[in-house]
Structure 1
Amino acid sequence: MTSSPRPISRRRMLAATGAATALGLLRFAPQAAATDGPASYTASWSSVDQHPPAPAWFKDAKFGIYYHWGAFSVPAFGNEWYPRNMYIGGSSENQHHIATYGDPSVWPYHNFIDGARDKAGNYVQFAPRLASQGGNWDPDAWARLFRSAGARFAGPVAEHHDGFSMWNSRANPWNSVQHGPRLDLVALHAQAIRAQGLKFMASLHHAYHFNGYYDHVPAQSDPALRILYGQQGSAAENKLWYDKLVEVIDGYQPDLLWQDFDLNLVQESYRLQFLAHYYNQAVAWNKDVVATYKDGLDNKGEVFDFERGGPAGLLTPYWLTDDSISSSSWCYTVGIGYYTTQALLHSLIDRVSKGGTMLLNIAPTADGTIPSAQQSILLAMGDWLGRFGEAVYGTRSWSAYGEGPTKMGGGSFSGPVAGKPQDVRFTRSQDNKVLYATTLGWQGATTTITTLNSNQINLSSLTGAQLLNNAAGTYVNLPAPTQDASGLHLTMPSTNPPFTALAYTVKLTFSGDIPVLGAPGGSTTWVKIANVTSGLVLDSGGNVASGSNLKQWNYDGSANLQWQLVDLGNGYCRLMNRANGMAADSWGNAANGAPARQEAWNGGNNQQWSLNSLGDNRYQIINRGTGTALDGSGSTTVGSTTVLWTPNSSTNNEWTITGV
């Protein structure tokens, strides 16, 4: 990475990645069938790609907690990139450092690790003391809090960009046993978290450690300091990156190993060795493990992570988002502000409805205290999950994620957002017999769910509607709902909420499988299918030969711009053109950018399409045969070819469907 004359935060560093995600430049592969995975792995993509990326425990967990806590917490200023920014002349961190501690040339970052006096004479050091030894840090109390918050997995930042390992490292002399706390912090975290019945995770952010984080630090003559400040040279740094991972894997057996950005800058052979080693060790432990990434790996064997965001709609394969309790910093700083509990909880509900899991960061103080405001937020989230977690834990996404005016997600850095009562998010039971509809507020005497209208779904097999009551496992039976073309209408117990909650869940139980959600307008309606990016509509070209490409055109009412979505009764429909009677067809070509074509209906999978509802009458139209979706390719040119692309967060593969 090239150096920057200005201080950098992770938001600025990853803004390009966030924009790429929002624009659909981060393409995803179709989800592979779940397997138990091979008995052993080799350091090759063809081997590690066979690893099942998201085991059942991870899909069931939905919510995890981790924490940015380390030597960078001591200054409690700026953010967790203080170790970098303090060396950038003129930055606020640099000015603060000079005023409080001295010039970085004489008061370097490693003083926060080894201890030194500031200008006021105060001794400062990252050296938390255990509560059992008279200090403020109680790892068991932390773990109890995480469990009370509703988390199903948790763990520390084992090493941030600063290069300080929070475990008893043999590869890195700058570790929490030889310096600072003189404790194996990762071991103590792991023991406490597992004692609460939670899965243990560790996050490592060290790929950026030697790829630009310390590029403003002067060259060091001391070999030990060259290790801390990432100045050993590429070969040694790449090996150290790998050696640290092996130590964490072998020493602490993490169920989930999370990594930050810049993996694409790590030597590929080491990335593959890491994956093969982790997965082979997991086989030996008889454990299902998860490896996550932002770049440098792929979602065939690993789980993609959105930072502070998520997709705008449903997305497969299963994904993760990491977010923070604060918008300003990932570590504790004086005056740190927080998102509301409502925004964080609603974001969790939204992300689960779209097929993801949320990892929430908290920011303890350097001495090991979790501030009371953060504890209150966590306990409030745990209170809701404790009462209504039936609609979250162990569920799976449905054919539509939800509806309503509040848009959430759309890439990285979209942040938590509080919803409105008209916002509804769906989840379903794993046996596909119960549909949960969670409203992000109380709608009043009647709750209306527009997605469940009579034109799109047959609810004749609905056997019961219940409101999840104030205590877990209790319900309020609702009168038989009514359904019409505007939605499903449920009579609630009262106009005002019968109890206080940040969201309310209706449980819809069916005698068999949840009915298939069909196309809007019903199967006999002629519709126009318009691309959200371009506004152009899907065009057959009229009287054309079989196999001709589908195009996009300005809507003028002609029959070649009109389509019928015929429900096939299996979760798929066929798209029949009014002008020529042919069906939209993928031609079996799964390559991104392949043209969408047309042919007489033959009943094959290449002519069957599912509608992935994104809310607000926006859909991804996904081919059964290839797993790719109709995509306008971003072109606004009349007559441009409609292509197929792996479903993603871009509006290029979003379409509105409107009756004509």
Structure 2
Amino acid sequence: MALRPLRSLICTGVLACWLPAFAGEAYEPPLRPGPFTSDAASFRQYRAPDWFRDAKFGIWSHWGPQAVPRAGDWYARNMYLEGHPQYEHHLKHYGHPSRAGYKDIIPLWKAERFDPDALMALYVKAGAKYFVSMGVHHDNFDLWNSRYHSWNAVRMGPHRDIVGAWQQAARKHGLPFGVSEHLGASYAWLAPSHGHDKTGPLAGVPYDGADPAYQELYHPAHDEGLHSNLDNWYATSPAWHEEWFKRISDLIDTYHPDLLYSDGGLPFGKVGRTLLANYYNGNMARHGGRLTAVYNHKAQGSGDTSDAGVLDVERGVLSGIHPQPWQTDTSIGDWFYSDGYHYKSTAEVIHMLADIVSKNGNLLINVVQYPDGSLPPESRRFLDEMAAWIQPNGEAIYGTRPWKVYGEGPTETAAGAMKESAAYTAQDIRFTTRGNAVYAITLGVPVKEVVIRSLGKGAAYAGGPVRSVRLLGSKARLRWTQREDALVVTLPSRLPTAHAAALKIELSAP
């Protein structure tokens, strides 16, 4: 079915005029002039900018109407899966989805305590060097004053430009600003809203997503993504490809983000490549021919190569030093606020950060917000504890590069998406470097001494005799000896920070 225009005809920026694409007709998006094109080979010239490589640690606001039920991620889909815990939650608190659906959750998201400037000050203090705002999740609700979609945060819910408010706060505090788009999967992801119960008193009564009056939110009726395992992440509808292109182009042209994140691979073949080429070309035009933009994408999706941007690994890490910069994205709790959810400890996050940075990666972490925009106590505690650690130890993180080996120790780290937990010990050490200095970060709190086998005189990585050793955050003079088998450092009786210790080791040669 052709998509209907939501407003009067608009022809600005890289956006083409809003003309409906008919079923089966491939959409040909407009290309902005520049060195990048819709040809996949053109992205082989991409290099991650230095600001991203130096930043190492970013904070994300993965927040929107799905926080309202306080029942966790994917609520807008799972509430339509009969028997699912979120379906049962919806029945209990809001009514049956044949009568009260996700459209009725959206007006309840008021964001009445959302103070982006105050939050950004906390994020900067906690060490964030870039910030990412969600632009649109799979729920098909835009968090900005969308030109092509009336279900947006300015017209409904908080009646506020959430993305714009975050951007203003990030710029005020000097942080590069990013946006995340999860829209590509929405067409298939929301398909269960067109279904109905199979059993019970309302068996066969269509859910509210089947009402044609709400197809702009729930999409036209179709068969893609109807199964609970979501076999087809990216739908094949040309009309949907056109809508995705125009809405995400609108997001890019309005906010000119330093970073764009797609929740999946670069979608929709040539359509996705054209949008990305426009993003890069537009960024270069605004920066005198210099490319400063970052595109985060995952390994799955359209089949395009990782040349397109920076590889992102959701809730996981890589096994060794990756030749190109990459990123882990994760959350300290559930992706959307969930009552009773187990949060990561600050120690877990610090250990992840050190492990990721040692392997040439960045960590982007969602700090969970209540539906009203304020912080749960777990989020506030994390920010305060992170600030206490990063301020004396940030030298070992920011602006560093991987050393000859990423680390040593007894604990094996599982690699890949959704594999982020590891029971590290103080004997697990991760290395970063800058100039002639090697930083050794313990993934635990050491007692009395640190033994670093990779810096023994006989080690293949040693790089010459050790000249000095200093404990970051401490003025204490350390006793140390470089034996044949290891560098052994005796620690002061009191360490300057909890969770992990960082040693700065000056070598006579890099």
TM-score by structure 1 length? Answer: 0.65
* Deviation of the 1:102 alpha carbon: 1.2
**Are 1:316 and 2:323 matched, yes or no?**
yes
Residue type of the alignment partner of 2:365:
L
- In the alignment, the residues of structure 1 paired with residue 256 and residue 314 of structure 2 have an alpha-carbon distance, to the nearest angstrom, of 25
- In the alignment, the residues of structure 1 paired with residue 265 and residue 443 of structure 2 have an alpha-carbon distance, to the nearest angstrom, of 36
Alignment of 1:404-553 (within 5 A): 404-429=409-434, 431=435, 433-457=436-460, 458=462, 460-470=464-474, 475-479=475-479, 481-484=481-484, 486-493=485-492, 496-512=493-509, 514=510
Alignment of 1:316-355 (within 5 A): 316-326=323-333, 329-355=334-360
- In the alignment, the residues of structure 2 paired with residue 61 and residue 396 of structure 1 have an alpha-carbon distance, to the nearest angstrom, of 11
Q: 1:246 to 1:293 in 2, by over 3 A?
A: same
Corresponding residue of 2:280: 279
Q: 1:505 to 1:71 in 2, by over 3 A?
A: same
Corresponding residue of 1:103: 96
- In the alignment, the residues of structure 2 paired with residue 435 and residue 185 of structure 1 have an alpha-carbon distance, to the nearest angstrom, of 41
1:359 partner SS: strand
Q: Which moved more, 1:401-410 or 1:381-390?
A: 401-410
2:415 partner SS: coil
Alignment of 1:43-192 (within 5 A): 43-52=38-47, 54-77=48-71, 79-113=72-106, 115=107, 125-129=108-112, 136-192=113-169
* Deviation of the 1:419 alpha carbon: 2.2
Q: 1:284 to 1:224 in 2, by over 3 A?
A: farther
Asked if 1 retains the 8 angstrom alpha-carbon contact of 2:265 and 2:297, the reply is: no
* Deviation of the 1:222 alpha carbon: 5.7
- In the alignment, the residues of structure 1 paired with residue 111 and residue 98 of structure 2 have an alpha-carbon distance, to the nearest angstrom, of 26
Residue type of the alignment partner of 2:358:
S
Asked if 1 retains the 8 angstrom alpha-carbon contact of 2:260 and 2:296, the reply is: yes
Could you report, residue by residue, the CA deviation over 1:156-185 in whole angstroms, capped at 9, with x for unpaired residues?
A: 211111000000101111111122111111
- In the alignment, the residues of structure 2 paired with residue 137 and residue 334 of structure 1 have an alpha-carbon distance, to the nearest angstrom, of 19
- In the alignment, the residues of structure 1 paired with residue 240 and residue 213 of structure 2 have an alpha-carbon distance, to the nearest angstrom, of 13
Could you report, residue by residue, the CA deviation over 1:230-277 in whole angstroms, capped at 9, with x for unpaired residues?
A: 3277122111111121111110111111110264xx421111111111
Asked if 1 retains the 8 angstrom alpha-carbon contact of 2:59 and 2:365, the reply is: yes
* Deviation of the 1:459 alpha carbon: 5.3
Asked if 2 retains the 8 angstrom alpha-carbon contact of 1:201 and 1:258, the reply is: yes
Asked if 1 retains the 8 angstrom alpha-carbon contact of 2:193 and 2:218, the reply is: no
- In the alignment, the residues of structure 2 paired with residue 352 and residue 338 of structure 1 have an alpha-carbon distance, to the nearest angstrom, of 22
* Deviation of the 1:44 alpha carbon: 1.2
- In the alignment, the residues of structure 2 paired with residue 251 and residue 469 of structure 1 have an alpha-carbon distance, to the nearest angstrom, of 42
Corresponding residue of 1:197: 174
Corresponding residue of 2:37: 42
**Are 1:289 and 2:296 matched, yes or no?**
no
Asked if 2 retains the 8 angstrom alpha-carbon contact of 1:48 and 1:275, the reply is: no
Asked if 2 retains the 8 angstrom alpha-carbon contact of 1:344 and 1:418, the reply is: no
- In the alignment, the residues of structure 1 paired with residue 488 and residue 210 of structure 2 have an alpha-carbon distance, to the nearest angstrom, of 73
- The partner residue of 2:246 within 243, 246, 250 is 243
Bigger radius of gyration: 1
| Percent identical residues | 36
Corresponding residue of 2:258: 255
Where does the alignment leave 5 or more consecutive residues of structure 1 unmatched?
Answer: 1-37, 116-124, 130-135, 515-660
**Are 1:303 and 2:303 matched, yes or no?**
no
2:402 partner SS: coil
Where does the alignment leave 5 or more consecutive residues of structure 2 unmatched?
Answer: 1-32, 196-205, 223-236
Corresponding residue of 1:366: 371
Residue type of the alignment partner of 2:100:
W
Residue type of the alignment partner of 1:449:
I
2:417 partner SS: coil
**Are 1:228 and 2:235 matched, yes or no?**
no
Asked if 1 retains the 8 angstrom alpha-carbon contact of 2:473 and 2:497, the reply is: no
1:320 partner SS: strand
Asked if 2 retains the 8 angstrom alpha-carbon contact of 1:350 and 1:408, the reply is: no
* Deviation of the 1:194 alpha carbon: 1.3
2:394 partner SS: helix
Q: 1:272 to 1:448 in 2, by over 3 A?
A: same
1:292 partner SS: strand
Q: 1:85 to 1:61 in 2, by over 3 A?
A: same
1:398 partner SS: strand
Asked if 1 retains the 8 angstrom alpha-carbon contact of 2:191 and 2:221, the reply is: no
Residue type of the alignment partner of 1:289:
A
* Deviation of the 1:48 alpha carbon: 2.5
Asked if 2 retains the 8 angstrom alpha-carbon contact of 1:344 and 1:417, the reply is: no
User: Larger relative CO (CA 8 A, sep 6+): 1 or 2?
Assistant: 2
Could you report, residue by residue, the CA deviation over 1:324-350 in whole angstroms, capped at 9, with x for unpaired residues?
A: 101xx2110222221111111111111
* Deviation of the 1:149 alpha carbon: 1.2
* Deviation of the 1:284 alpha carbon: 1.5
Asked if 2 retains the 8 angstrom alpha-carbon contact of 1:308 and 1:412, the reply is: yes
- In the alignment, the residues of structure 2 paired with residue 281 and residue 262 of structure 1 have an alpha-carbon distance, to the nearest angstrom, of 21
- In the alignment, the residues of structure 1 paired with residue 116 and residue 446 of structure 2 have an alpha-carbon distance, to the nearest angstrom, of 42
* Deviation of the 1:217 alpha carbon: 2.5
* Deviation of the 1:223 alpha carbon: 5.4
2:70 partner SS: coil
Q: CA RMSD in A?
A: 2.0
Structure holding more strand per residue = 1
2:450 partner SS: strand
- The partner residue of 2:194 within 203, 217, 240 is 217
Q: 1:66 to 1:489 in 2, by over 3 A?
A: same
1:147 partner SS: helix
* Deviation of the 1:298 alpha carbon: 2.6
Could you report, residue by residue, the CA deviation over 1:558-612 in whole angstroms, capped at 9, with x for unpaired residues?
A: xxxxxxxxxxxxxxxxxxxxxxxxxxxxxxxxxxxxxxxxxxxxxxxxxxxxxxx
Structure holding more helix per residue = 2
* Deviation of the 1:221 alpha carbon: 6.4
Could you report, residue by residue, the CA deviation over 1:529-564 in whole angstroms, capped at 9, with x for unpaired residues?
A: xxxxxxxxxxxxxxxxxxxxxxxxxxxxxxxxxxxx
Residue type of the alignment partner of 1:44:
D
2:249 partner SS: helix
* Deviation of the 1:497 alpha carbon: 3.2
Could you report, residue by residue, the CA deviation over 1:467-509 in whole angstroms, capped at 9, with x for unpaired residues?
A: 2124xxxx4443452221x31222333xx33434211111111
Could you report, residue by residue, the CA deviation over 1:401-445 in whole angstroms, capped at 9, with x for unpaired residues?
A: 11112223411111243521111110000x3x1111112234333
1:401 partner SS: strand
- In the alignment, the residues of structure 1 paired with residue 470 and residue 34 of structure 2 have an alpha-carbon distance, to the nearest angstrom, of 45
- In the alignment, the residues of structure 1 paired with residue 471 and residue 454 of structure 2 have an alpha-carbon distance, to the nearest angstrom, of 18
1:300 partner SS: helix
Residue type of the alignment partner of 2:65:
A
- Count the aligned residue pairs: 445
Alignment of 1:522-601 (within 5 A): none
Asked if 2 retains the 8 angstrom alpha-carbon contact of 1:312 and 1:407, the reply is: no
- In the alignment, the residues of structure 1 paired with residue 282 and residue 93 of structure 2 have an alpha-carbon distance, to the nearest angstrom, of 47
Asked if 2 retains the 8 angstrom alpha-carbon contact of 1:339 and 1:416, the reply is: no
* Deviation of the 1:137 alpha carbon: 1.3
Residue type of the alignment partner of 1:483:
R
